[in-house]
Copies of this chain bind each other. A is one copy, B any other.
Amino acid sequence: MFSKSTEYALRATIYIAQESSPEKKLSLNQIANAIDSPPSFTAKILQLLTKDNCVISSVRGPNGGFYITETAKQLPIRKVLEAMDEQDLFIKCILGLNNCSETKPCPMHYQYQPIKKQLIKLFESKTILQLADPSQPANFLVNNSL
């Protein structure tokens, strides 16, 4: 569905929204550890998410780290996809065509269109806050079959 980068970005954003606040910032290592991602690579991804403080905010120095504002929590999760430049989902069809439309449907158009609509609605309507429900257990680890 998504690239690894985008998966990490979504996990990181949700985790930060669950655990952080402007008073309680999270370090790179805390985040990478929690979402089971390589720290150095995660640093790059967090850089993209903090660009213009759009989704995630950050401060350097002691007691610095990453956090999210209450305002940013109200953003739809589509913002994460935008920050990661992963928008094929919204543009292309399931066969990879970008000119597939109602008037020029590809052979899978009528099968996939309703699903695509739901995917778009999910990312457009659900906010970061709504996914970061602290009453739910986080469960981010990929291989915790312990």
Contact = CB atoms under 8 A, between A and B. Distances in A.
A108 interface: yes
A94 B2 CA distance: 8
A126 interface: yes
How many copies are assembled? 2
Interface residues of A, number: 45
A70 interface: no
A94 B142 contact: no
Interface stretch (A23-31, A40-48, A51-59, A111-119): A111-119
B132 A88 contact: no
A115 to B, nearest CB: 5
A107 B138 contact: yes
Given A139-B100, A139-B104, A1 B131 contact: no
A11 interface: yes
21 contacts: A1-B88, A1-B92, A2-B94, A7-B96, A11-B96, A95-B140, A97-B140, A97-B142, A99-B144, A99-B145, A104-B139, A106-B139, A107-B131, A107-B133, A107-B136, A107-B139, A108-B131, A111-B122, A115-B118, A115-B122, A118-B118
